């Protein structure tokens, strides 16, 4: 942000004589329409899917639930590629229709493609959050409801809606923000300037025409809109976290409702799971081996893994520092003040943050390629911070509420308290935060978009360049590696850290 403010005060920012002046009204209108529609559709899908998952019990349910949970970390560029693999002209759907001598002439590119991709990603994310909320309904309330023979509709209105509705303002705000600042999906599926958003326009003005003044004005407009639209909702209901889960009590709905729930689950699995499956199927095959022999692939992999690991560690340190200092204050005002800087990163788009760093680096007369590793680590750690805090804060609050007096009476503080009390009880949360930090960084295209070069590359950047050069086999292979790494880390790290923390306790 300092970079942006410095740049605003300077007059020697490059202005390209060739570039057109940005049509800010059109860009704002497109960004708003797209984000509003995405929010509405994603919340609707999220509520329906959470409802279905909450009611249905079947073999493999935990796997399905954790599959939808990956929506928050699945690299958007990979999902976009998966969408093309399923819904594109040569995609799975058309191949299937061809068997029956049918064809689908529609295109996945355009506003509907953007909305579809955003809805399956954000709908799955919303479902995960709302399902966690539904699982906090006390078993005794469910038993009371069942013994009162509440119909499925009445049950939803009386039991589910009160816990769901509390999360909708902040969840809606986050989804709006994710859609408003979405970059890879709009870039790949947008289908041209008509559907361009502010985020993609900023990228175009920096990378394609190097008109930093135009990019700066767009970044400021975007920041202002993010603040105006999102902050009130976040301040009204700042936390999405649900206060633990109760012992599971299963109360199945009537047959009609159960059929509807299966239909919703099947559609959601097809919508979210098929693109991911397509990425794996298309990527892991003969096309993978040529990529594995490329030196640049291994360089990008090492860069991605190193930056991801360091980002994850920095995210954890920053989040722990902020949450523990927040807990040492009893005044709600001080606690809110300490949390605010972290949550501010929710309203700062990756590309705008990247632009800020880009301008700062230029102002300090450092070559962007030299600063790139540090910028990538720092920017990705900061962008993951709000999510990390929303995981750590409720767990730390619960520990504090339960053990603060005992710990104080025993003189436990600082590192000793962390080692004896917090680490053994928070291993899983620490694992989730590390996974968030790692996966966000691994899938990042927003920050690398301004710093990536042919010499300094990460896996998403390499994949993006392969797509741009129509090397689709290479792109598919890199996408599958990215997806596999994301899934492995996201699924394995939390239980691994939980196990480690228990082993140490």
Partner 1 sequence: MLKVEQLTFTQPGQSLSYVYDLEVAPGEIVVVTGVSGAGKSTLLDLIAGFLSPTDGSLSLNETDLLPLPPEKRPLSILFQEDNLFEHLSVAKNLALALTANQGQENERILEALNEVGLGGYGPRRASNLSGGQKQRVALARTLLRNRPVLLLDEPFASLDEKTARDMRALVRCLTDTKQWHTLIVSHAKEDARQLADRLYSLCEGRLNPEVLQVQDPKINRWTPMRPPRATRQGHH
Query: Does residue 147 bind partner 1 (CB under 8 A)?
Result: yes
CB of 251 to partner 1, least distance (A): 8
Six-digit token pair at 416?
A: 């000793």
Six-digit token pair at 225?
A: 């809109």
Identify which range of 1-9, 141-149, 316-324, 468-476 contacts partner 1 by CB under 8 A: 141-149
Distance of CA 150 to the CA centre of its chain: 37
Please spell the DSSP secondary structure of 467-494, one letter per residue: HHTT-HHHHHHHHHHHHHHHHHHHHHHH
Question: Residue 352: exposed, middle, or buried by beta-carbon count in 10 A (0-12, 13-18, 19+)?
Answer: buried
Among 136, 140, 453, 505, binds partner 1 (CB under 8 A): 140
CA distances from 143 to 137, 138, 244 (A): 11, 9, 19
CB of 252 to partner 1, least distance (A): 9
Write the interaction track for partner 1 spanning residues 88-127; mark x where CB under 8 A is met and - where it is not. Answer: ----------------------------------------
Write the interaction track for partner 1 spanning residues 149-168; mark x where CB under 8 A is met and - where it is not. Answer: xx---x---xx--x------
CB of 47 to partner 1, least distance (A): 18
CB of 250 to partner 1, least distance (A): 9
> In the complex with partner 1, which residue's Cβ is closer, 94 or 135?
135
Q: Are 45 and 33 in contact (CB under 8 A)?
A: no
Query: Does residue 138 bind partner 1 (CB under 8 A)?
Result: yes
> In the complex with partner 1, which residue's Cβ is closer, 95 or 136?
136
Query: Does residue 408 bind partner 1 (CB under 8 A)?
Result: no
Q: Are 484 and 465 in contact (CB under 8 A)?
A: no
CA distance 399 to 410: 15
| Ramachandran assignment for 151, one of left (phi > 0), alpha (psi -120 to 50 degrees), beta (any other) | beta
> In the complex with partner 1, which residue's Cβ is closer, 136 or 370?
136
Query: Does residue 243 bind partner 1 (CB under 8 A)?
Result: no
Phi, psi of 430 (to 5 degrees): -60, -40
> In the complex with partner 1, which residue's Cβ is closer, 246 or 472?
246
> In the complex with partner 1, which residue's Cβ is closer, 248 or 293?
248
> In the complex with partner 1, which residue's Cβ is closer, 160 or 422?
160
CB of 419 to partner 1, least distance (A): 32
Helical pair 2-9 and 212-236, crossing angle rounded to 10 deg: 140
Query: Does residue 320 bind partner 1 (CB under 8 A)?
Result: no
Query: Does residue 249 bind partner 1 (CB under 8 A)?
Result: yes
> In the complex with partner 1, which residue's Cβ is closer, 14 or 162?
162
> In the complex with partner 1, which residue's Cβ is closer, 146 or 370?
146
Supply the DSSP symbol for 22: P
For the chain, the maximum distance between any two Cα atoms, rounded to a whole number of angstroms, is: 77
* Close Cβ partners of 86 (under 8 Å, ≥ 6 residues apart): 92, 93, 274, 275, 278
* Close Cβ partners of 199 (under 8 Å, ≥ 6 residues apart): 31, 180, 181, 182, 183, 186, 222, 349, 351, 446
Query: Does residue 61 bind partner 1 (CB under 8 A)?
Result: no
Please spell the DSSP secondary structure of 213-262, one letter per residue: HHHHHHHHHHHHHHHHHHHHHHHHS--------PPP------HHHHHHHH
CA atoms within 13 A on the CB side of 341: 10
Query: Does residue 13 bind partner 1 (CB under 8 A)?
Result: no
CB of 358 to partner 1, least distance (A): 49
CB of 435 to partner 1, least distance (A): 30
Among 148, 292, 340, 366, binds partner 1 (CB under 8 A): 148
Among 144, 245, 370, 406, binds partner 1 (CB under 8 A): 144
CB of 62 to partner 1, least distance (A): 16
Question: Residue 250: exposed, middle, or buried by beta-carbon count in 10 A (0-12, 13-18, 19+)?
Answer: exposed
Phi, psi of 365 (to 5 degrees): 55, 40
CB of 166 to partner 1, least distance (A): 10
Phi, psi of 75 (to 5 degrees): -60, 125
> In the complex with partner 1, which residue's Cβ is closer, 26 or 141?
141
Identify which range of 136-144, 375-383, 411-419, 440-448 contacts partner 1 by CB under 8 A: 136-144
> In the complex with partner 1, which residue's Cβ is closer, 143 or 502?
143
- With CB under 8 A, what is the number of residues at the site for partner 1? 15
- Owner of token pair 């594995």: 292
> In the complex with partner 1, which residue's Cβ is closer, 164 or 396?
164
Identify which range of 58-66, 144-152, 284-292, 437-445 contacts partner 1 by CB under 8 A: 144-152
Site residues for partner 1 per CB under 8 A: 138, 140-141, 143-144, 146-150, 154, 158-159, 162, 249
């Amino acid at each position: 942000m300092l970079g942006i403010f410095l740049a605003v005060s300077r007059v020697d920012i490059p202005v390209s004589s060739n570039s057109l002046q940005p049509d800010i009204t059109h860009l704002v209108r497109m960004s708003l329409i797209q984000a509003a529609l995405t929010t509405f559709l994603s919340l609707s899908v999220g509520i329906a899917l959470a409802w279905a998952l909450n009611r249905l019990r079947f073999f493999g349910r935990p796997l399905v639930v954790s599959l939808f949970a990956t929506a928050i970390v699945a690299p958007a560029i990979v999902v976009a590629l998966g969408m093309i693999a399923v819904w594109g002209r040569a995609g799975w759907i058309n191949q299937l229709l061809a068997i029956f001598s049918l064809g689908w002439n529609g295109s996945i590119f355009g506003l509907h493609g953007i909305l579809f991709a955003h809805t399956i990603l954000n709908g799955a994310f919303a479902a995960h959050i709302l399902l966690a909320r539904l699982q906090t309904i006390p078993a005794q309330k469910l038993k009371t409801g069942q013994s009162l023979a509440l119909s499925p509709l009445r049950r939803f209105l009386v039991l589910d809606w009160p816990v769901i509705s509390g999360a909708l303002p902040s969840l809606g705000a986050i989804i709006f923000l994710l859609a408003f600042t979405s970059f890879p999906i709009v870039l790949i599926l947008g289908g041209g300037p008509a559907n361009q958003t502010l985020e993609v326009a900023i990228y175009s003005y920096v990378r394609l025409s190097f008109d930093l003044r135009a990019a700066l004005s767009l970044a400021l407009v975007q920041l202002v809109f993010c603040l105006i639209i999102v902050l009130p909702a976040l301040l009204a209901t700042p936390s999405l976290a649900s206060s633990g889960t109760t012992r599971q009590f299963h109360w199945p709905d009537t047959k009609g409702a159960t059929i509807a729930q299966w239909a919703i689950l099947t559609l959601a699995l097809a919508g979210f799971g098929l693109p991911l499956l397509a990425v794996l199927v298309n990527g892991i095959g003969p096309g993978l081996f040529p990529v594995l022999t490329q030196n640049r692939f291994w360089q990008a992999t090492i860069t991605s893994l190193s930056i991801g690991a360091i980002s994850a560690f920095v995210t954890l340190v920053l989040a722990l520092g902020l949450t523990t200092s927040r807990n040492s204050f009893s005044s709600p005002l001080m606690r809110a003040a300490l949390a605010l800087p972290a949550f501010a990163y929710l309203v700062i788009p990756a590309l705008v943050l990247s632009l800020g760093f880009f301008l700062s680096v230029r102002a300090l007369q450092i070559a962007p390629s030299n600063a790139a590793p540090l910028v990538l680590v720092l920017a990705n750690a900061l962008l993951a911070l709000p999510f990390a805090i929303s995981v750590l804060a409720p767990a730390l609050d619960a520990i504090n509420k339960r053990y603060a007096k005992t710990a104080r009476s025993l003189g436990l503080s600082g590192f000793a308290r962390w080692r004896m009390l917090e680490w053994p009880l928070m291993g899983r949360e620490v694992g989730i935060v590390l996974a968030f930090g790692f996966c966000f960084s691994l899938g990042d295209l927003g920050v690398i978009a301004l710093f990536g070069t042919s010499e300094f590359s990460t896996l998403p950047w390499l994949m993006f360049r392969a797509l741009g050069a129509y090397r689709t086999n290479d792109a598919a292979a890199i996408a599958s590696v990215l997806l596999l790494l994301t899934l492995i880390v996201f699924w394995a790290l939390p239980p691994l850290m939980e196990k480690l923390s228990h082993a140490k306790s």
